[in-house]
Amino acid sequence: MGRRENPIEADEPALGRLAAWLREQREQAGLTYREIADRTNYHHTTLQRAAKGQRLPSWAVVKAIATACDADLKTARKKWSHAKYWAHVPRAPAGQPRRAPRRLNPDHVESFADLRRVMHEMRRKAEWPSLEDLDERAKEVGDRLPPSTMALVLKGEAPLHKPVFTAFMRACRVKEHRIVLWQAAWERTNNARAHVPMTARTYQREFNRAMKSSAHSLPTEILFKLWVAMKTNAAADRRDNTAPPAAAGHSGAQGPVPSA
């Protein structure tokens, strides 16, 4: 079995648990890293590094070790996904505990940065599919998510368009009734950035989309919530349209300067 391995010195507990699990599977299988390498396409030093806990290994490497050791791939994927998620959590200041990012719901979204955080959370729940996998899933329903474009979008270096956001959610297997709410959050965020008020027409469009999704067991409270928002905004629109025009000279706008 070779010499004893050095202790795991992982900075992140989830990464340490992944490394410990990989070592445990290897020991139970009674294999050395060289023997595992003979069963895979990876060098034994690559396999050793995966079980050190110093850096997050790729899923391909974790899967190769688990397969060679006849370990449960579902457990392997779960532990790797958890470690990858915490690898994306910013480090806390010295002396403060490290916490997972605050999970957002559609009502709490205030910016496109929030929407990008949500996209990372959706990808985590989908067990971190690669950008190439997301593109393949999108193609299945007639959409496209080019990996190079998505890499820029997720970094905030390219605009997040609504069709891209929708295709991404579907590729991450987000439920349709949740997609409707996140689309409404995108609309609200986009309108706020453009300084255009959210109108009843926008809510009408989202309500109609929600009604079409009701065949997929859309919760009644979601339909009611969109209906109330639509009615509230419709009433506001009527008030704005029937408001008396401002008196001349009191609007703050300057008229044309008379010629001398």
- d(Cα 8, Cα 6) in Å, to the nearest integer? 6
> Cα(111)–Cα(249) distance, rounded to whole angstroms?
38
- Vertex 188: Cα angle to 100 and 175 (nearest 5): 60
Single pTM value for the model: 0.51
Q: Rounded to an integer, what distance in angstroms lies between the CA atom of residue 190 and that of residue 211?
A: 23
Predicted local confidence at residue 255, as pLDDT: 41
Q: State the Rg of the chain over Cα.
A: 26
Residue with tokens 């955080």: 117
Cα 86 to Cα 124: distance, rounded to the nearest angstrom: 10
What is the DSSP-derived secondary structure letter of residue 215? G
Question: Which phi and psi (to 5°) does residue 75 adopt?
Answer: -65, -40
> What's the pLDDT tens digit per position in 72-111?
999 998 899 888 877 766 666 666 666 666 666 888 888 8
pLDDT digits (tens, 9 = 90+) for 217-256: 555 666 666 666 666 666 655 555 555 554 444 444 444 4
Q: Is-contact 2 31, C-beta < 8 A?
A: no
Mean pLDDT of the 129-148 span: 92
